Amino acid sequence: MNTPIADYHIHSKWSFDSESSLESIYEKAIQKGLKHIAITEHCFLVQEHMVQLLDRWGYVSNNGFNTDLDVLFGVELSLENKEIMWCLRNGVFGFWDIISGGVHGFEQYNLYPKEPISEYRNKFLMLPEKVEQLVRQYVAQTVTAINTGQLDVLVHPWDIFLLAGCTDQILLKLSHDLVKQAALHNTFIELNGGMLKNIYYLSAQMKINLEEFYVRFLQICSGYDVKFVYGSDAHEVDEIGVPNFLPAIKSKLRFAAHSELTQRTNERRNENEKLCIL
């Protein structure tokens, strides 16, 4: 396996839930031996947040950082909020080096785990008839985003279900629809650091074998020959970096080269320029 030396999912103080400065992120990444990183901020309230995110560019260029790292500046969109459509309509894709996106919850069902996981799980399991509906909604929203051709990385796939202890067969069945589309548009799938940690922590807590589910999901991905990127999802600098992978998947995954990510960025920029000329 080509072990990734890149972490493509780091939050800085430009995300509402992190306080990490860019300087401290660079320092930690170099310390951890990384060559490439991506700083991907949340974008939950697009209009308000966008101004702030553009301010990050100003900060970066005014400070003229000199680092050996390749740094991509991007966003982590919430696919259920249709943020990707907002970005499309407003022509801001050209701003980002990397566009990540994942489903973070279904607000109408109040299912994102704000409360302790065990209570969350009970609430979720009280609604078994909703599970299939939610899984289908998850896939539909993700596929819509992938089909725009702008989604570079699908982050923490299925995590809102796994956090709730839901590993219903329907998730694996519909994984095929999800991953087939990702392969078609060359959207990379994230191996998420938070999820890897949770697999051990939550499996013990919930007495559910999340590792088995995750490995089977990753095997489906490998079957479609999609490529992976690693993302720690670090909200604090100590979380930055690439941990040991699950032994069962260690040798099976193909990771995207950094040049494959920058190629997507360049194509997007060219596309945007063409649109501007028209």
Return residues touching Zn ion (CB under 5 A): 76, 102, 233
In angstroms, what is the minimal distance from the CB of 233 to Zn ion? Answer: 4
Q: How far is the CB of 34 from Zn ion (least distance, A)?
A: 17
Distance CA(161)–CA(198), nearest Å, equals 12
**In the complex, minimum distance from the CB of residue 81 to Zn ion, in angstroms, rounded to a whole number:** 12
C-beta of 250: minimal distance to Zn ion in Å? 24
Nearer to Zn ion, 7 or 233 (CB): 233
Residue 210 CB, nearest approach to Zn ion (Å): 17
Residue 159's Cβ-side half-sphere holds a number of Cα atoms within 13 Å equal to 23
Strand spans (E) along the chain? 6-10, 36-42, 70-78, 98-102, 153-154, 188-192, 228-231
Query: What six digits make up the tokens of 47?
Result: 């209009």
Residue nearest to Zn ion (CB): 233
Q: Minimum CB separation from Zn ion for residue 73, in Å?
A: 14
Task: Read off φ and ψ for residue 235, nearest 5 degrees.
Answer: -100, -15
Please, which residue, 56 or 252, has the CB nearer to Zn ion? 56
For residue 99, which phi and psi values (nearest 5 degrees)? Answer: -115, 110
**For residue 207, what are its two tokens?**
């007495």
Residue type, 269: R
CA–CA separation, 31 and 240 (whole Å): 10
Neighbours of 17 (CB within 10 A): 10
d(CA 80, CA 30): 34
Give the shortest CB-224-to-Zn ion separation in angstroms: 22
Q: Which is nearer to Zn ion, 102 or 241 (CB)?
A: 102
CB-nearer residue toward Zn ion: 166 or 234: 234
Whichever of 44 and 109 has its CB closer to Zn ion, that residue is: 44
Are 112 and 104 spatial neighbours (Cβ–Cβ below 8 Å)?
Answer: yes
Nearer to Zn ion, 197 or 269 (CB): 197
The CA distances from residue 9 to 27, 159, 242, in Å, are 16, 15, 11
| Closest to Zn ion by CB, 71 or 248 | 71
